[in-house]
Structure 1
């Protein structure tokens, strides 16, 4: 009795009992280790006590009956005392276990409550520190700084340890100032307050302080008025820097520049302005109001300049006693005006000289027979001669309008006078690239009218380009025909995969291609033009030296017969190459000899024949081996399992704890091995095409009950539960019940193997017409996309997260049995989101003979 109480107590504390028959409304409920479980065990103990009491009642009644005539013997009294003592001890032990269990659960609840409170307080503190608009960096001695809080993502500040690399996300000036301030803060405890600017033009406030021996910096993302004020300050510093830079730049150039107030008085001039008005310094010119331009020019500028349209004209004035022309630009601004003058006297002189030179060149070019066109720096037509007009037949009015070079090309293309191009835009850009080129560019244009032009385009140093068109129609036509003929012949023969050699009537080789030399293993020198066929045959003798070889070729090529014969056949070289040859007569008494490498085809044919025979024999051997080994393995496995069960029988003796554990291992391993052998035998039977399904009518509700009972131990071992969802009445279908049950068990076992402990496996069943559709879903690690294509392969065990290993035959058997039922199986899985396997089994038709029975 005490051993029974001890066993029940251990089961109540450690185990969980799965009740596979608690399937109600399509779901399997699991009874766990809880207070209800313990109370149920106590109830069983009381029931046991009641049973013992019922046994003892007749004894007591018999004792009462005999008491009238006889007194109790000492042995009867002792037996009754032992029974009553055992029952009392059992009841007291049970009550003590229940009480201790309640105390443990109370302490556990208190500890969980305290842990929850502590975690809540930590979360509150972290929320107070982790403000999204500020970040704190703390240095404690030489230790690594601690980072608290976050800055908004729009500031561009890194969220990891790269935050301290200020040069990566702050502007250079801000990063440099901040690093110097941090050095002073950590070195001599100098506090600072500054504003820094990020690479994304966001403004941050940086405050550095020292407290308690620790240096810290607080970065705050400014907003609203503080951010606007900081931006205005930064913008003011930037503008002052820019103004100073522009003034220094203007002081360094040799162009007079000035600035005036709204009344027209000078407020600032540069060094060149002061020198132009003979002032000692720019300040003297401003103080004395020395003017660079005449009064009339100033009044004209003042009257015509507007903020939208600045004044821009050439004005003459006297500088250093000389009349000088200046290109003056004056801009009106809200605070007055500003202007600059460029000396163009030398440019005007050069322009006049250039115009005289161009006129002289134009008169010369106009008498040339070669078409010439000149374009300026803006790519506009400035000159063309009569030959240019005759060549392109363009309208004089259009040419006199000085069209752009691109516009001229577009007009010629529209008139179909330019070469046809597959990519016109690219061709035009390449033609106009002469304006950016350093050297003269030349190209051949084959016009649609049959003319061929050599076009020379030369860029001018001052900008622009000169186009010269040379007519090469006749010369190019002759060269093209000759070169085309040679290239077509050479390229065609050289790029043939067949070996080709052409011989003259005298038996000397005229040409050969690389394939011919490669097939026969000879060099280009050995087959150079002029080599006699007999000499060539000697060079090829190491590869093929037979009477029907090159001697036969020589007789056919050098024959004097009136009717020249062609010939073809097959020969095999010493190297193993198989060649198909052909001797073909050509015009002018020439003969062509061709060789086609058929080695791969012949070898492939031979290899396929041998491979097919080997595969056939291997398949037969495999099927014989698998069937033989599988059947032979079953007998010893059956014996092992039988003897294991026999050793567990109490009649053979009591086993100690380690021996019982070893017996359990032997039994489990034997069952796994038997399952593996059965799976291999099933697959071999399917491969051999000899597996036949035993169709019968199946009640799907009973099938699900049988599956749930059969898989219960496996689910309890994995610590998962099964949830079955199905209609109230699934009905029946015609299929092989054993194979269908095997499909469900394999899928559920696979799901239990990869499901985390404490999770649930979902089995959803439904009917779609006569088809039985079910799916098995788990919340395991899932399958990556590159492995889904191989999950139904045999021995595919890519996943490493299962609770127990396997041979990788489960899903392969599922797919084979589903296909035997003419069904479909699919799998949907993503890494980290579990796996769902969906099967569709159509209902079959019973044979007429079976139906009649």
Structure 2
């Protein structure tokens, strides 16, 4: 009996062990048969949900990833806000306060169809956002509807942008047929249709002569003749696969500005061509960019040489070869002078008078221009210098004439300033007004005369006579110097309000005729 009991107990234990082993094998097989989920949202793959850690996207459902195809990077959350922000007003502010509130639910804007709810949760440092189709959340595929609503909203926004864009946009196939166009293109196409016709497919081609350039992108300016006048456009064609994307940007203002600039340049060119002053403008590389015909005439340089755009040193070397600059002592000093010319012109300090070997005299001025350019002006002042020399010679002759007169002579301008005196005057009054007196006016000189003569009212009358305007009557008067000599003073009006005063010491030849040669000499001067 005991043996039978032990055998039965062994059978029961063996059966139990076999059953347990079978259960373990079955559980292991079931665990291997269940696929591992690659996403936190695998339980509901059709929903539209995001999981963010700060601005980085950690995980998302397939529907949500369709809204962020760029992937999981550090700027995924700002991109999500740019796409969902227009759908959910106040989304950015709500997410900013989410760590404090823990939960937020936003309704979509009135224009979003179908309506969508956005549920945001803050879970231990992570942000979970889920879009819920409120009208069909009991239906299978509710998450798809939410993603579709977002895509439809973005599509509607892009269509509104294209419709309101002032830029002409259209697509062409490889044959040049317009297969799509925006509102601005359709408006101009409708304006060009004959009266009574409506737009129909295929759409008319507005820019038929602007074919696509082989090999890539092309940009050119084209004119479209509208009923109200010509319109200019900058046309950009971008090949994309079997199609070409075309953009026409309005260029009327640019064309008007270019036309005005061209007219202004033509006016400047005509003005420069008529100038007697030679003009040469060099860019920052010191290459000749602009010159007028007078430059070729004044420098004796061939127009072909100037048209070839020589450098500044080459122009000066060519002028030196033609003896059109002052001849230097040696070539080394000449090269140093070139550097000096350029440096001083760039600072706006260069201005010289060149006396040329041929007898001409040039005034040369260098001035800086924007962007490092230099402008040189060559002016022939030979006639002006000749006149100046002649005038200086006449003055020297007049001075020599009155210096030869024995009487002291002083000539005052209409304003009472001393303009001329002779040697006899300086010897009589013991001073040269041009050297000893800073203000050689009638008042200053009368005080000098009064200090070196006996008291007399004659000097007050002399001041009044010199400063009086209008008709004046000649008069004479006598004064006695401190050394006892008696001096006769004669006051005579001259042309233009000037005054002649002569001083004759008593004892010398007091012939009154001596005054006439002086007045005649002054008229000649």
Using the size of structure 1 for normalisation, the TM-score is: 0.22
Structure with higher helix content:
1
